Amino acid sequence: MDINYLLMLQNFREATGGFLDTFMELITKLGETSVIVFFIGLVYWGVNKKQGIFLMFSLYTNRIVNGFIKITACAYRPWIRDARITPVPEAQADATGYSFPSGHTANAVSVWGGLSVNTKDGVKLPKWFSIVLIILLLLIGFSRNYLGVHTPQDVIVAFIIGGAVLFLMAKLMPIIDERPNMDLWVMLGGVALCALLILYAALKPYPVDYAADGSVIVEGSKMAVDSFKNAGMGIGFFVGWFIERRFIKFSTDKSNTDNIIRLIFCVFTYTLLDNFSGNAASAIAGAGLGEGFAKALMQFVCVFYFVAGAPAISELILKLVPKKNGR
């Protein structure tokens, strides 16, 4: 049934000359982790810090859960399961790791769905805009099917899990605010969960399937790299969040000038670090650490800098900026 649905969408793409391909590729990019993180940065550094933290809690918790499920289910991508499936090439190039559940869809629920939730201290959006965001995240999920890189169950389960995580985070954040010392236990629990994911990804057996000529169709351990990355992101977030909360304590409630300066600095320096991280991970992997651990390490560095490092340095810079009009 799921393959037949993808073939139906594929036939539609071919019959219409792919006139919706570019639009769907654009929509699907709004679920990519890099795009999602950039948007969160705009909120976290320059608009509403608490809203940004809520979005990050939802995103990185979803990434951890997604990592566990992917390497437990070990579900292959549609074109591996059935040779008749021909994904849109640009989308296929970005479709790494196992298929179930959809990471793009979970990302969309975390952030676009999370932004539509009016939290106590978050950005208050008009109802019509929240509806637009919900339509957007539904389109992102559909785009994964349309482009041929995920089955319907990949998307549906991602919606369910993403929604459950979003609900739990909405309940957790007020509790943390009411109990300041709880942040230590949240941080330790999050790091422990990520460490468990790394051990699980490194030690569990993976299926290895062979073609008729004896060549390996899919090497399972290679498909688990995304789970290592998710664990590295999670550790970077939980440690960075704790350090920022306890020691840096920057605020977006200051002047617009401060927020703009912080935003420009953080976006610029984080972009440089993120662009450098791929080459750094390759060098570390080449030195013998292994691709999974190397990417986990660099994701930790990038996310930690995102959450704590960049704001800390920007606060030092702001102290050097002459204050005017009582700022």
What would the DSSP string read from start to end of 265-322? HHHHHHHHHHHHHHHHHHHHIIIII-HHHHHHHHHHHHHHIIIIIHHHHHHHHHHHSP
Averaged pLDDT score across all residues of the chain: 91
Token pair for residue 196?
Answer: 């468990």
Closest-CA residue to 244 (of 44, 61, 104): 44
> How far is Cα 67 from Cα 90, in angstroms, rounded to an integer?
23
Would you state the torsion angle of the CA atoms of residues 161, 164, 170, 176, taken in this order, to the nearest 10 degrees?
-80
> How far is Cα 270 from Cα 259, in angstroms, rounded to an integer?
16
CB-based contact 269:256 (threshold 8 Å): no
- Residue range 116-144: average pLDDT? 83
Which pLDDT value is given to residue 119?
A: 60
Residue type, 7: L
Query: By CB neighbour count within 10 A (0-12 exposed, 13-18 middle, 19+ buried), where does 248 fall?
Result: middle
Question: Would you say residue 118 has pLDDT above 70?
Answer: no
Question: Would you say residue 138 has pLDDT above 90?
Answer: yes
- CA distances in angstroms from 102 to 169, 198, 270, 275, 289, listed in the order given: 20, 20, 26, 25, 28
Closest-CA residue to 147 (of 191, 188, 110, 102): 102
- Given its phi and psi angles, is residue 249 left (phi above 0), alpha (psi -120 to 50 degrees) or beta? left
Closest-CA residue to 107 (of 30, 202, 22, 203): 30
Q: What 3-state class would DSSP assign to 208?
A: strand
pLDDT digits (tens, 9 = 90+) for 55-84: 999 999 999 999 999 999 999 999 988 989
pTM beyond 0.85: yes
> How far is Cα 274 from Cα 309, in angstroms, rounded to an integer?
13
CB-based contact 73:133 (threshold 8 Å): no
Query: By CB neighbour count within 10 A (0-12 exposed, 13-18 middle, 19+ buried), where does 101 fall?
Result: buried
Q: What 3-state class would DSSP assign to 104?
A: helix
Least confident range from 124-128, 147-151, 254-258: namely: 124-128
CB-based contact 75:99 (threshold 8 Å): yes
pLDDT digits (tens, 9 = 90+) for 224-265: 889 999 999 999 999 999 999 999 999 999 888 999 999 999
Alpha helices in the chain (DSSP H): 2-15, 21-29, 33-46, 49-73, 78-81, 89-94, 103-108, 114-116, 127-146, 152-178, 182-203, 220-223, 225-243, 256-284, 291-304, 310-320
